């Protein structure tokens, strides 16, 4: 059974049985879950073919169909990306990209994030929340994670919307590599369709730890 996903000119992504990885992760609560090495973390995006082709060919985002004037969402959770893109079958999300960035830059993204909805646990009042939205270039959402069949889980998954200068920094300066993993995704979707969940080998994910309690509070963690 395949245990690695080869990345052109990069170290391969280690794969693990989905159920085995599931047992290693928290079953509930808010957690940043993703594939990570000592220094880097992978985030995922789904695009139409023209945007994906430019990104892979140039190892940055641009071209006629990509706009730096719109918010662009990244997701570190593989299954969360599969659910949101319909396993690459939704319109304009047909190509799935794995994008490696440094943990330092990922932390910078989190530091520039504002929660997408008002929560009295983390905001004094709605005015403070609205000010955080207008004053930050990253929007952060916590949503129910999903299993391979699209069922909601108790654990929450994170997605981050980037705009302005930090989106430009992400798209043009901070990417280690961009890999189109659509064929890999389709091979997994075939197993899901045939209910071969025990054969599902996915990127090995773990919890991204944040030591800064102030940052934890800012992004909606206790």
Where is average pLDDT lowest: 92-96, 185-189, 209-213? Answer: 209-213
pLDDT at 131 over 90: no
| Structural domain includes residue 7 | no
| Structural domain includes residue 139 | yes
pLDDT at 1 over 70: no
| Structural domain includes residue 10 | no
Confidence of residue 133 (pLDDT cuts 50, 70, 90): low
- In this prediction, residues 21-41 reach a mean pLDDT of 97
Give me the pLDDT at residue 4, please.
92
Where is average pLDDT lowest: 20-29, 79-88, 128-137, 169-178? Answer: 128-137
- In this prediction, residues 24-41 reach a mean pLDDT of 97
| Structural domain includes residue 3 | no
Give me the pLDDT at residue 136, please.
82
Give me the pLDDT at residue 205, please.
98
Confidence of residue 200 (pLDDT cuts 50, 70, 90): very high
Instruction: Write out the residue range of the structural domain in which residue 45 sits.
Output: 26-218
| Structural domain includes residue 137 | yes
3-state secondary structure the chain: CCCEEEECCEEEEEEEEHHHHHHHCCCCEECCEECECCCEEEEEEEECHHHHHHHHHHCCCCCCCCCCCCCEEEECCHHHHHHHHCCCCCCCCCEEEEEEEEHHHHHHHHHCEEECCCCCCCCCCHHHHHHHHHHCCEEEEEEEEECCCCCEEEEEEEEEEECHHHHHHHHHCCEEEEEECHHHHHHHHHHHHCCCHHHCEEECCEECCCCCHHHHHHCCCC
| Structural domain includes residue 18 | no
pLDDT at 87 over 80: yes
- In this prediction, residues 23-31 reach a mean pLDDT of 96
| Structural domain includes residue 84 | yes
Instruction: Specify the pTM.
Output: 0.94
Q: What is the pLDDT of residues 152-198, one digit of tens each?
A: 999 999 999 999 999 999 999 999 999 999 999 999 999 999 999 99
| Structural domain includes residue 21 | no
Number of domains in the chain: 1
């Amino acid at each position: 059974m395949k245990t690695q996903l080869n990345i052109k000119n990069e170290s391969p992504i280690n794969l693990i049985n989905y159920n085995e990885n599931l047992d290693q992760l928290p079953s509930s609560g808010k957690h940043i879950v993703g594939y990570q090495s000592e220094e880097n973390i992978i985030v995922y995006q789904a695009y139409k073919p023209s945007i994906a082709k430019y990104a892979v060919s140039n190892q940055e985002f641009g071209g006629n169909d990509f706009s730096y004037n719109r918010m662009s969402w990244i997701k570190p959770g593989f299954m969360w990306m599969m659910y949101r893109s319909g396993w690459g079958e939704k319109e304009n999300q047909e190509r799935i990209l794995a994008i490696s960035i440094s943990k330092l830059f990922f932390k910078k993204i989190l530091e520039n994030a504002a929660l997408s909805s008002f929560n009295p646990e983390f905001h004094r009042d709605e005015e403070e929340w609205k000010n955080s939205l207008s004053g930050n270039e990253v929007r952060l959402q916590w949503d129910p994670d999903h299993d391979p069949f699209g069922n909601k889980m108790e654990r929450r998954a994170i997605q981050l919307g980037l705009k302005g200068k930090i989106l430009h920094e992400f798209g043009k300066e901070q990417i280690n590599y961009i890999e189109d993993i659509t064929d890999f995704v389709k091979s997994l979707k075939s197993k899901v369709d045939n209910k071969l969940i025990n054969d599902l080998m996915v990127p090995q994910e773990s919890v991204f730890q944040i030591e800064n309690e102030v940052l934890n509070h800012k992004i909606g963690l206790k």
